[in-house]
Structure 1
Amino acid sequence: MEEKSATQQPSTVTSAVSEIEDDNKDENPHGVTPVTSAFADWKRGPLVRKFWRLYLTGVMVCVGGMYIGYGNSVVGSIIANRGFVQQFATVTNPDTGEPDLDAHHLGLWNGLNFVAQIVVQMISPFTADRWGRKFNMWAFTFFLTLSIIFEIVAQEWIMILWSRILGGFAGGLLATSIMTYMSEISLPQFRGALLGSFSLFFALGQVFLAIGLKVLEDTDPFNFRNVFYSEFVFFGLWLVPLVYLPESPAWYAAQDRDEDAKRSLRRLVGPVDGYDLDHEYAVVKFEVAQSARLARARGSDWRALASPVNLKRIVIATLPFTFQNFVGVPLIFGYTTYFLQLANVADPFLGNLMIQLILVVGIVSAFYFIDIVGRRSLVIWSGAAMGAICLVIGGLGFMGPNTTSSGIGLVTLCCVWAFVYANSLAPIGWISLVEVSSPLLRAKTAAVAAIIQSLSGVLFNYTVPLMLSNQGANWGQRIGLFFGGITFAYLVPVLFLFPETKGRTYQELDELFERRIPAWRFHETKTAHQTGVEMRLGGH
């Protein structure tokens, strides 16, 4: 690898960190960042081409999203399958007299999945900080694979429940493994696109599942366990990057394992012309040192996390992620086939496939919008649009008996909703979870933010089937009015708290939060990092 200096600044970790300490003695928030990347002023396109290996490695990590997108969505989507219903039915449908799944069991399957996530989310930041991000990736793989085995051998509904609990353990590890890892290896210019790739791969997993369920329904609907067996295909795909990936350089830096961090960085980046490894690692070390300095000023990590600034960052980190539950994800994606079946849609599995395909198309377009339009605008305007669509869906529930045309209208509305969601909360929910946090506290912040989301997930995922089913409230499509109402209520804190973070380095975000810049002024506030870049460029 060719390593040559591209700046006039310190090119060793030791001198960079020393200068950081000197620069921050006066706690001047308007000072100049002492060390910046030689590529800080590059645009996203040229930077991706320059660091293609780093970008593709980040994309490889997203295969884990496809694995859990397929594996953790199976039970919620297969509940309209005739063979599955025949195997696990415990009640009789009061309208048709046919065997039916108990709505309480459906609620428990998804509700306890989120409870399990919460349990692991309370533990996962400790393991991620103690043993590394890769340790949590392996734990994620273990629990998700074990959940598949439980699905295959299940004969009673209780075994499906245990499978969902194990899947919840896996889901609880996502924030502190895959998402934290991706945020730490990304460059700021393509961080949004790379983190958004996780949503794309997650959605691809759901598309493949929708295709599999449609084929199953048309060929051999009573041999439903074939769908469970197919999950091992995605396990095999995920195993390749899992073995290949090095540990996060940022985690090594936090452990003061500088040589290991450099080896990891070199493996991730590969041979890049003009790349000064010592200097670029000094940038990584600076972010860790800066975060550590702020944490030390407040005591222990957990005391630092409980400071007003970091508590605010936790709330902001969870805002888009938790918003997913309020705009209707538990309905549109959690119980898609069940919802469409209750609405008398002729082919709920085809409707589900159409919705999932639109989701993927939307997420592809989101790669452009996330870093051009920005996070804040997309969350606010898309949230309002999804709330309006939910209200229209709810209004359809008052139009008398469901017909073929009303079924087509419902699927169309769900597709439009999915496209809007794909361009906003689908990627931004995951992005904000790890982007808003301070580098040193990233795993802990992401875990606490994810716990908040999971708490709302428990509530919605348990109650949605009870609200839909004639075994419960029997709202049917009118449930859209409920989600529309709470969506607009949720937009109020989003307007006042959620900032624009596109293109910002973690150094800049630390500074902006420490300066208490209002959310609506983040995008226009000049930072010390920007001043440092301007001075470096002016020196050439």
Structure 2
Amino acid sequence: MKSPSHEQVEIAAAPDAPPATTTSIPLADVTAKAGELHGRAIQQQEHNRTYWQTLRSDPKLLFWIGVMLWTMGVRGFENQAGGSLISITEFKRRFGEPDPSLQGQYFISTSWQSAISGSGNAFTILGATLASYLVDWFGYKPVVLATTVLNLGSVGIEFGTTSIGMFFAGKMVNCIAVGSYLNLVTAYVSEISPLAIRASAIGFCNLSQCIGPFIASIMSYYTAQWDNDWSWRALICAQWGFSVMGLAGQIFMPESPVFLVRKGRMTDARAVLGRLYTDPRDADGHLERIKLTLEESGTRDQNGSYLDCFRGTDRRRTFIAIFVFLAESMSGLGFVSNYGALMYQYLGISDRKSFLIGIGAQVLSMSGATLAFFVSDFYGRRTMFIWGCVSVTLLLLCMGISGSINTDAATQASVGFYTMFNFFYNFGLGSGVYAIAGEIPTSILRNKSLALAMNSSNAFNTMWSFVCPYIFNPGYGNLKARIGFVFGAIMALWSVGAYFFVPETRARTYEELDELFQNEVPTRQFKQYVTVAERRAAEAYSAEQKGVEV
């Protein structure tokens, strides 16, 4: 009989069968079938592993996820530092105007406040959009490295600024880098995270952005007392710490295996997976899993366009991603982040005390984001998001009510509600937004769908950044804490929309999600629906465990 180690495998007929009946199965088909079996078995293995087993199984994978998540700290620090700078005395004296109502005091004009905050969001949109195109051609690693170089240079412009205009220019360049990071990190972590901890890993994008503001708040509390330019320059140059440490890891980071498979670079993809997974069999299986997911969705070797995001079943997926991310801007997060210190001052809190409360607010942010890990991966994304919308709605309405009462006790209550927003937002919405928007899109459109979702949120944040100073500042709307009515009413609508439109994606592989959307499964049936991909994975896993040959 011919050797089976070359072109084909021959299976002889039974002894009592007619002579000369021999069936030939090409070896390539046997290998492909075995690879598909192993790829589906790996999907079931992902389902079987618990949260804690997953954390212990592949430390190298967790390390590279951590490198990318550290990079996200730049965004949170930059946002908080920018909001703190405009309330630091030396910064206002250096770049502001004399305050006619307070002799010897200075202020940054409302127009510059709006420009710095609002335009920053616009340039963040530009950064996310550029990244979504560049990553399709060059991959994650080159674009991430280029973004870090841009960030380092822009911080240098801010640090050496001699005018408010120069500071504005440096900040806008930095916001391009921040927008790029938002897109790249979320998509990269979504693609390589194991199923059992996927929401925690993606949700860590939110916690990373809470750590930055916490550090910025502590720094501004102490540096604001200094009577020289280092009172504000120290906040700016601290961003180099995030960037330089991130760059040290980014130089060696593995490329996304999904990108490599899409480009047909299977050898490179297998090598990368070998760096991520401890068990070589797992690396082989995940290569087959990625190939299966792309082939089942019909998107292998393609670069999706923005128009594709609004075609067929992807239209629904894009809408969900945009809807959940808009919760970020519609809840008033941009207002709280950019004008927190000023809001406390307008409520009668001293500069020093407002900075101290700001530190406590960031502790609450990190606490909420940390607790959200367990809710999302153990109880589900849909539950967390709906609960988050409802809780933030009630909190904002309470803040508006207390802000309508002119007593010291009511003012203190407003401060409390305003500060507690940081906990409830990050526990219910902050992490869930990234997890849902990162999981919902199909693999080929993930970067572009995320760019659309983030850009929609940033577009509304831009609008709020220009509008909010005129709503709550004295001399204009002067709503102060009553601004809670505005955002509370909007979030009441989001609570209803979340119930009808946001599906449960917990414990779903990307192949399963593709099938759920292709079959147009109703939102509230996602959790119970049994997919063909699930059944195939279970059968393949059982066959492998029993040693059944293909």
**Fold-level similarity (TM above 0.5):** yes
Partner of 2:171: 164
Compute the displacement of 1:302 (Å).
4.7
- Which amino acid is 2:57 matched to? K
Matches within 5 A, 1:93-132: 94=101, 98-132=105-139
Could you tell me how far apart the structure 2 residues matched to 1:180 and 1:368 are? 21
2:32 pairs with one of 8, 15, 33: 15
Which amino acid in the other structure matches residue 361 of structure 2?
I
| Aligned-residue offset at 1:195 | 1.0
Find the counterpart in structure 2 of residue 254 from structure 1.
262
**1:433 and 2:413 equivalent?**
no
1:13 to 1:51, Cα distance in 2 relative to 1, 3 A: farther
Contact kept, 8 Å, 2:132 with 2:451, in 1: the verdict is: yes
Mapped to 2, the partners of 1:343 and 1:538 lie a distance apart of: 64
3-state DSSP of counterpart to 1:62: helix
- Give secondary structure in 1 for the equivalent of 2:293: helix
Superposed CA deviations along residues 405-447 of structure 1, whole A, max 9, x for unmatched, are: 5554333223332211121211122222321110111112111
- Which residue is equivalent to 2:391? 385
Which protein has the larger Cα radius of gyration, Structure 1 or Structure 2? 2
Which one of 286, 289, 312 corresponds to residue 292 of structure 2? 286
Q: How many residues align?
A: 514
SS at match of 2:348: coil
Q: Distance in 1 between matches of 2:71 and 2:509?
A: 25
Residues 297-376 of structure 1: matches in 2 within 5 Å? 301-346=305-350, 347-376=353-382
Residue 54 of structure 1: SS of its match in structure 2? helix
CA distance in 1, matches of 2:337, 2:182: 20
2:7 aligns with none
Q: Distance in 2 between matches of 1:352 and 1:301?
A: 42
Residue 21 (structure 2) aligns with: none
User: How far apart in 1 are the matches of 2:228 and 2:216?
Assistant: 14
Q: Percent identity?
A: 21
Aligned to 2:497: 493
SS in 2 for 1:73: helix
Unpaired runs of 5+ residues, structure 1, are 1-9, 21-31
Give unmatched runs, 5+ long, in structure 2. Answer: 1-26
8 A Cα contact 2:36 2:288, kept in partner: no
Structure 1 partner of 2:249:
241
The change in CA–CA distance for 1:329 and 1:127 in structure 2 (over 3 A counts) is same
User: Residue 78 of structure 1 aligns with which residue?
Assistant: 85
Deviation readout 1:169-197 (Å, 9 max, x if unpaired): 11221343111111111111111111112
What is the match of residue 414 of structure 1?
A: 418
The residue that corresponds to 1:137 in the other structure is: 144
8 Å contact kept, 2:299–2:444: no
Equivalent-residue separation in structure 2 for 1:349 and 1:187 (angstroms): 39
Instruction: Label 1:303 to 1:204 Cα distance change in 2 as closer, same or farther (>3 A).
Output: closer
The separation in 2 between residues aligned to 1:499 and 1:140, in whole angstroms, is: 33
Aligned partner letter, 2:487: F
Corresponding residue number in structure 2 for 1:521: 525
Aligned partners of 2:513 and 2:397: how far apart in 1? 36
Asked if the contact 1:17/1:285 (under 8 Å) is kept, the reply is no
Equivalent in the alignment of 1:5:
none
Cα–Cα, structure 1 residues 463 and 170, in superposed 2: closer, same or farther, change >3 Å?
same
Distance 2:29 2:414 in 1: 60
What SS does the corresponding residue of 1:335 show, helix, strand or coil?
A: helix
Q: Is the 8 A contact 1:82 1:221 kept in 2?
A: no
1:229 is displaced (CA, Å) by: 2.1
| CA distance in 1: counterparts of 2:115 and 2:304, whole angstroms | 38
Deviation sequence 1:288-345 (CA, Å, 0-9, x none): 222335998xx96455323131121111112222101111202222211111111112
Q: What is the deviation of 1:99?
A: 2.4
Amino acid at match of 1:226: A
Of the three residues 210, 213, 219, the one matched with 1:206 is 213
One of 517, 531, 534 as aligned partner of 1:530: 534
Which amino acid in 2 is paired with 1:512?
L
Task: Give SS of 1:63's match.
Answer: helix
1:163-202 equivalences under 5 Å are: 163-202=170-209
Secondary structure at the counterpart of residue 530 of structure 2: coil
- Quick check: 2:42–2:541 contact (8 Å CA) kept in 1? no
The 1:214/1:35 distance shift into structure 2, 3 A limit, reads closer
TM score, norm. by length of structure 2: 0.87
Conserved 8 A contact 1:119-1:169 = yes
Hey, what's the Cα distance between the residues in 1 that align with 2:361 and 2:100? Answer: 27
Partner Cα separation in structure 2 for residue 417 and residue 318 of structure 1: 22
Larger mean Cα displacement after TM superposition, 166-175 or 280-289:
166-175
Corresponding position of 2:71: 64
Distance 2:475 2:162 in 1: 23
Q: Write the letter of the residue equivalent to 2:154.
A: S
Q: Does the 8 Å CA contact 1:72/1:167 hold for their aligned counterparts?
A: no
Cα distance in 1 for partners of 2:404, 2:366 equals: 31
The normalised TM-score by structure 1 is: 0.89
CA distance, structure 1, for counterparts of residue 476 and residue 493 of structure 2? 25
Distance 1:33 1:303, change over 3 A: farther
In structure 2, the CA distance between the partners of 1:264 and 1:493, relative to structure 1 (3 Å rule), is: same
- SS for the counterpart of 2:527 is helix
Provide the C-alpha distance between the structure 2 equivalents of 1:471 and 1:138, rounded to a whole number of angstroms.
45
Q: Structure 1: how far apart are the matches of 2:95 and 2:216?
A: 20
Change beyond 3 A, Cα 1:277–1:477: closer
The within-5 A match list for 1:430-509 is: 430-509=434-513
In structure 2, relative to structure 1, the CA distance for the partners of 1:378 and 1:47 (3 Å cut) is: same
Encode CA deviations 1:62-85: one digit per residue, 9 max, x unaligned.
110112221343111222211111
